[in-house]
Amino acid sequence: MIVVLLLGVLVVVAIQFPRQTTALFFSVNISPVGIDVKDEFPDRQTDTQTIAIVTAANLFLESLDEQQKDAATYAFSDNAQRSNWSNFPEGMIPRGGLKMGTLTEDQLAKLNALLAVIMSEKGYENIEYQLAAERTFPTNHLTNKYGVDHFYVAFLGEPSEKQPWMFQFGGHHLGINVTIYGPDATFSPMLTGGQPLYIQYQGNEIFITEEETAAAQAFMSSLTKDQQNTAIRSHEPINLLLGPGKYGTVIAPEGIKGSDLTEAQKQLLITLINTRLGFINKDDHKAKMETVIAELDDTYFGWWGPQGKLGFAYFRITGPSVIIEYAPQNDAGDLRTEHAHSMFRNPLNDYGSAWIEQKQQ
C-alpha cells in the first residue's frame, strides 16, 4: 500500500513538473569524460593574460594550508573531476574540490582576484549575481546543501604558463571550466543561468539573464515571417541538451542558417552570441569571437517556445565551434522566468580536448 501511494505521489509530481522530474531522474549521475589525456605536452609560448592568470592562481594556492591544497588539486588526467560540475546542488551530486565555506577572508579575496582575471568584468559580475541568488535559498534543507559555502574550486594540474592545466569553480547552477595551454584558453563547457533569476543586488532588482534573452528576442523580431518559420522549431520550450555529463554528444543544427541572414541580422546574432561569450576575459574573448564571426555563415539559430515573454523560450545557436543553449525551467502559470539553465560548449575543443587528447593512430 505504501509503495502504491509513493508511486502515486511520483506520478502527480511528474505531471505537474515534467521537465524537472526528467532532469532529477536522468541527469544526476555524471560519468567521467572520455578523454585519453596525453602523458606529455610540448611547452608553448605564453602571453600576458596567461601570466596574469597563473600569478593569481599561485597566490591563491600559496594561501592554502596543506589540507586545503590537497582538497583543491587533482592530477591533470583526472577525468572524473574534469566532469564534476552540475546545475544541481551538493547533496544531489557529490562535488570535488575545496569548499568555499572553508576559506578565510584573505583566501576568499585571493579567489575573487583569480576569478576577476579569468573572467571579464561582466563574467565576474555574473558570478556575483549567481552567488547572490544562491543566498536566497534556505541552508537547512534536509538533503540538498544550498548556499555559497557549498561552491567549490579545483585545479587539474599545476598552474603553468607553458603547460596545460584546468581551473574549475562552481556550485548550484554555475560551472566555470577553463582549460589553459600557453597563450590559449577554452571556457568550454560553461554553465550559467541561475535560480532565482530576479534578485536584489546592491539595492537594485536584477534579471540575471535579461541581456541575452532581450538580445534573442531582438534577433527574432528582426526576422521576416518566412525566416521566423524556419527558425521556430516548436512553440513549446525544450530542456537542455548539452548539460552535465554530455561530453561528446552530437546534435544536428536546427533553425535558420547564418548565410540566409541580412548583414543587419548577422550583427544582431553576433550581439546575442557576445552576451554569453562576453563572460570571457578580453584577451581570450577576442580570439574566440574572431572565430565565431568567421564561421557565422555556417551557424544556425533555432527557437522553441513563445515570443514576447522575455526568457520564456528555449533557443540554441549551433556553429562549428560554438553551441549556446538557453533553457527556461518554467511551470504552467508562471508570470516570469525565475529559473534557467544556460550552456556554452565548443564541440571542437570541449575541456581542451583538441590540445590534450591522445589521438588514436
Q: How many domains does the chain have?
A: 2
Domain check: are 155 and 219 in the same one?
no
Same domain, 265 and 178: no
In a domain, 103, yes or no: yes
First to last CA, the chain: 58
pLDDT value, residue 18? 39
**Which are the contacts of 254, defined by CB distance < 8 A and separation ≥ 6?**
233, 300, 302, 316, 318
Which residue in the block uniquely carries the three cell numbers 532529477? 24
Q: Please state, as a whole number, how many other Cβ atoms lie within 10 Å of the Cβ of residue 335.
A: 7
| Strand locations in 92-250 (E) | 98-99, 152-156, 165-171, 174-181, 184-186, 190-194, 198-201, 204-207, 232-234
Partnered with residue 176 across adjacent β-strands are 169, 190
Q: How do the pLDDT tens digits run along the chain, 361 residues long?
A: 554 455 454 444 444 443 344 344 434 567 889 999 999 999 999 999 999 999 999 999 999 999 999 999 999 999 999 999 999 998 888 899 999 999 999 999 999 999 999 999 999 999 999 999 999 998 877 778 999 999 999 999 999 999 999 999 999 999 999 999 999 999 999 999 999 999 999 999 999 999 999 999 999 999 999 999 999 999 999 999 999 999 999 999 999 999 999 999 999 999 999 999 999 999 999 999 999 999 999 999 999 999 888 899 999 999 999 999 999 998 766 888 999 999 999 999 999 999 999 976 5
Query: Model's pTM, two decimal places?
Result: 0.90
| Structural domain includes residue 159 | yes
226, 227, 185, 219: which is closest to 326 by C-alpha?
219
Same-domain pairing of 181 and 220: no
Q: Does 201 map to a domain?
A: no
Looking at residue 321, its amino acid is S
Going 288 to 294 to 189 to 342, the CA torsion angle's sign is positive
Distance from C-alpha of 331 to C-alpha of 337, rounded to nearest angstrom: 9
Is 106:68 a contact under the CB 8 Å cutoff? no
pLDDT at 266: 99
Whether residues 219 and 322 fall in one domain: yes
171/58 same-domain check: yes
CA gap 186, 285 in Å, rounded? 10
Task: Report the alpha-carbon distance of residue 35 to residue 280 in Å, rounded.
Answer: 24
Check whether residue 54 and residue 177 sit in a common domain: yes
Distance, CA of 322 to CA of 349 (rounded, Å):
10
Is 214 in the same domain as 180?
no
d(CA 183, CA 134): 33
From residue 84, alpha-carbon distances to 32, 68, 205 in Å are: 8, 18, 32
Q: Domain check: are 90 and 220 in the same one? A: no
Q: Which of 192, 223, 198 is nearest to 210 (CA)?
A: 198
Residues 257 and 316 in one domain: yes
Query: Minimal CA–CA distance to 185: which of 156, 165, 209?
Result: 165
Cα dihedral sign for 233, 174, 35, 299? positive
Nearest to 168 by CA among 101, 85, 250, 90: 85
Q: Print the domain residue range for 159.
A: 49-186
Extract the C-alpha cell encoding 18.
Answer: 515534467
Does 204 fall in a domain? no
Strand runs labelled E in 112-253 = 152-156, 165-171, 174-181, 184-186, 190-194, 198-201, 204-207, 232-234
CA distance 115 to 128: 10
Strands 174-181, 190-194: parallel, antiparallel or unpaired by DSSP?
antiparallel
Answer yes or no: do 178 and 220 share one domain: no
Based on the fold, state whether residues 133 and 90 are members of the same structural domain: yes
The per-residue pLDDT for 330 is 83
Do 302 and 216 fall within a single domain? yes
pLDDT given for residue 332 in this prediction:
65
pLDDT tens readout for residues 144-195: 899 999 999 999 999 999 999 999 999 999 999 999 999 999 999 999 999 9
Cα Rg, the chain, nearest whole Å:
21
